[in-house]
Structure 1
Amino acid sequence: MAGEPTDERVADGSNDGRYRHLIEHVQDAVVEFTLADGEPTVSDVNRAFVDVFGYEADDIRGESLNEWVVPDWKLAEARELDTNTASGAINYQQVTRETATGLREFLYRGIPYATGDADDDTPDGGFAVYTDLTEVSRNERRLEVLNRILRHNLRNNANVVAGHTTRLLAQLEDRRGKTVDVAATIERAAHELEQLADEANHIRQVLEHPTDEVADIDPEPTVRAVVDDHRERTPSADIEIETGETGRVMADSRLRYAVDSLVDNAIEHNPSPEPRVRLRITSAEGLSGAASGEWVVIHVEDDGPQIPADERDVIRDGSAITPTHHGSGLGLWLAELTVETFGGELSFGASDLGGNDVSIRLRRR
């Protein structure tokens, strides 16, 4: 399907010729596959698949579809969809898939068919149709973040400043009360407003930059620069770094925004007078069939309290953003939006330090 259609295929008037002409010219990425033991093997792809996924048709024909387009941490989900297809059901689901330039969001339709070669109507092949929703999904999430979270936090901190300023003026008039405590509260709220403004500005820079430009950097200097900066800003924190030979990743200088935000969160939300943070850069091998399918993971670990489940969920699922369920600030969102701009993923786990392991997964260049 990925080649230029011949005159015979279009002009012969057959159903097969017309169907192939249609598939070849639709803008959605289409894969035709055979099913053997529930595993989809690529028979052919259309030109839109080559354009969107970045894999050449000759390279992927005859290969396992899952090994090329499914990230290893999404394999269980893909196998469940394959089971549905093998049973004759049509799948319709939003999925994350791996392309040559990183992760993208798709509306996936799995459409099975039976060729009639078997004695029954058991599906032995099908079509996978992928509609690229990446920019639509990202834009919806960005609008929700800026509308709900930014407005909520600005209003709350402005109310704190206004309310405590009134109290401070009253206490100064009668020379009674804990004016120092009130002043400290105002100072903290003002500092949070300044930080919020900085994070909002960084988000603006992330969103204004084109996402289709391929860039690559060595992540180690960025991570080391963030560590050096936070060691100077918070000398009481115990900040460790572990690196290895990982190579370059698909990202640019804005990666620092994400790493810095995660380190800042790990320190800021740890009640310990000596918070512990560990940054590790590791390799994560992708599935063996995918060309250059290796990933680099930047772990930011701490020994502080677990990030609340609702805050993790709202990062994972933008549809969960509501006036009362939106996360406590812009730091995690800055990291999430930055990483997804590079076709990567932000994930949450537990660290052997006793706290969180927030990981940035980026495609190796």
Structure 2
Amino acid sequence: MNVRRAAASSTISLTGLAVVAVVVAHVVTAAPPLVGVTVSALGAAVGLAVAALGYAVYRFEFTVRQTARIAGWNLLGVVVIALALALIYAYQDAVGSPPSTPVFSGTVLVAISSLAHVLIGINDARRIRAGALERERRKLSVLSRLVRHDLRTISQYLYGDASRARAAETQAERDAVADDIRETAADLGGLHDNLQTLRELVETDSADAAPADVASLVADAVASVRDDYPDAEIDLDAPESAPARAGEYVADAVRELVENAVEHTDGPVTVAVTREDGWVSVAVRDAGDGVPESEREIVLGERDITQLRHASGLGLWVAKWVADAYDGDLSFDDGVVRLRFRSR
């Protein structure tokens, strides 16, 4: 059970149950005439509808943020009508004609306002959810094209290795082919890991982001790349702690960026973590020319991906989707790739 979703949706149900309690208490204690009983029945029905909607909101697969948004609409409906009624009742009392049952009549009106606003909130959340699903569909479409390309490339390497293995006449030639096959297998394993990460990122709700120590996650990522590339020169400049609204996938993103820099340049790679203006920034700089402009434009959505034009590999896409998953951003500037996450 998601506690935050349950808490948000329960506020809606509690609103409805509170309405029912007030209405029932009025009928029991005041013994109203037929019209009063009719209004009470209406109020009770609306209250029960609000309570049921609260349960339905929880059962429906809204995200934490969407559920909280619906609860916010409910609160808005209650507060606005309550303030309006308070002003009206104060005026009536001032002119000497106070309402005879202010709590009862006000509760019925609050129930109607709550129901209307919850329905508005559900429609609003469904609209947002539809947009999110469309973005996920586009991401999966991009992922499908990238995977097809990478698998096709790997298969071509393997076909080439098979031909070389057949033609090999010496042990040295056979060993060279075996090394190439081993490297291709490692690439295939890395592709699988990236696909798993991307699949999980598609399902990640940014509202689930919690304070995470980006400095520690970056240090772990850099240490991992250093283990895999012992000859690489990787410098890390980071504070002791840099909390931000993020999560464990930050380490995956940084690892991909650092690994990409190491593989495409012979010089040192610098990773810097800084805190500035409500953001935590992770900058990866290498001695080369940086990510080609065509690849930057594709990853940032400024150019359509096609079979003949695509970003090489999945690493940049992992970094981009990690940024998206935590409401951060990815940018490229003068040989520097920068990830940013909100610190509050």
Q: TM-score, normalised by structure 1?
A: 0.55
Instruction: Pick one of 218, 222, 230 that aligns with 1:223.
Output: 218
2:310 to 309, 326, 329: 326
Structure 1 counterpart of 2:234: 239
Per the TM alignment, residue 268 of structure 1 is displaced from its structure 2 partner at its CA by 1.5
Q: Is the 8 A contact 1:249 1:296 kept in 2?
A: yes
Aligned counterpart for 2:299 among listed residues 306, 309, 315: 315
Offset, 1:297: 0.9
> What residue in structure 2 maps to residue 171 of structure 1?
168
Deviations 1:22-76 (Å, cap 9, x if unpaired)? xxxxxxxxxxxxxxxxxxxxxxxxxx9x949x9x99xxxxxxxxxxxxxxxxxxx
Cα distance, 1:196 vs structure 2: 1.1
Q: Quick one: which amino acid aligns to residue 313 of structure 1? A: E
1:191 Cα shift?
Answer: 2.0
User: What is the CA distance between 1:206 and its match in structure 2?
Assistant: 1.9
Is 1:256 the counterpart of 2:251? The answer is: yes
Deviation at 1:136, TM superposition (A): 4.5
What is the Cα deviation at residue 147 of structure 1?
1.0
Counterparts of 1:164 and 1:228, CA distance in 2: 32
Question: What CA distance in whole angstroms lies between the structure 2 residues aligned with 1:151 and 1:263?
Answer: 25
Question: How do 1:158-237 residues align onto structure 2 when only pairs under 5 Å count?
Answer: 158-172=155-169, 178-237=173-232
User: Counterpart of 1:268 in structure 2: which amino acid?
Assistant: E
Task: Give 1:219 shift.
Answer: 0.7
- 1:303 is matched with 287
For the structure 1 residues 180 and 214, does the alpha-carbon distance in structure 2 shift closer, same or farther, using more than 3 Å as the test? closer
Instruction: Please say if 1:154 is aligned against 2:138.
Output: no
Measured in 1, the distance between the counterparts of 2:304 and 2:128 equals 23
| Distance in 1 separating the partners of 2:209 and 2:222 | 26
Q: Which moved further from structure 2: 228-237 or 134-143?
A: 134-143
Does the Cα contact within 8 Å between 1:246 and 1:283 map onto a contact in 2?
Answer: no
Does the 8 A contact of 1:281 with 1:297 survive in 2? yes
Q: CA deviation at 1:308?
A: 1.2
Residues 209-228 of structure 1, C-alpha deviations (whole Å, 9 max, x = no match): 33332412111111111222
SS in structure 2 at match of 1:244:
coil
Contact 2:330 2:337 in 1 (8 A): yes
281 and 310 in structure 1: CA distance in 2 versus 1, 3 angstrom threshold: same
Structure 2 residue matching 1:303: 3-state secondary structure = coil
Quick check: 2:320–2:329 contact (8 Å CA) kept in 1? yes
Kept in 2: contact 1:246–1:296 (CA 8 A):
no
Aligned to 1:338: 322
After TM superposition, list the pairs within 5 Å mapping 1:4-153 onto structure 2.
51=69, 135-136=132-133, 138-153=135-150
Deviation at residue 319 of structure 1 after TM alignment: 5.5
The structure carrying a bigger helix percent of its residues is 2
Cα distance in 1 for residues equivalent to 2:182 and 2:288? 24
Q: Could you tell me whether the CA contact under 8 Å between 2:244 and 2:341 is conserved in 1? A: yes
Tell me if structure 2 keeps the 8 A contact 1:243–1:281: yes
Work out the percentage of aligned pairs sharing the same amino acid.
31
Contact 1:312 1:348 in 2 (8 A): yes
What amino acid sits opposite 1:339 in the alignment?
Answer: A
Q: Distance in 1 between matches of 2:264 and 2:254?
A: 16
- In 2, distance between residues paired with 1:137 and 1:359? 26
**What SS is found at the alignment partner of 1:281?**
strand
- Secondary structure of 2:159 counterpart: helix
> Contact between 2:221 and 2:252, CA under 8 Å: does it hold in 1?
no
Residue 220 of structure 2 aligns to a residue whose secondary structure is helix
Give the 3-state SS of the residue equivalent to 1:139 in structure 2: helix
Q: CA deviation at 1:244?
A: 3.4
Q: Which residue pairs with 1:360 in the alignment?
A: 339
| Matched letter for residue 177 of structure 2 | V
* Structure of greater Rg: 2
1:327 deviates by: 0.7
Q: Kindly provide the amino acid, as one letter, of the partner of residue 148 in structure 2.
A: R
Letter in 2 for 1:139: E
Compare 199-208 and 218-227 and name the one that shifted more.
199-208
Task: Select the structure that is richer in strand.
Answer: 1
Maintained 8 Å contact 1:168/1:179: yes
Aligned residues: 225
- Which of the residues 258, 269, 273 maps onto 1:277? 269
The answer to whether the 8 A contact 2:243-2:343 is kept is: yes
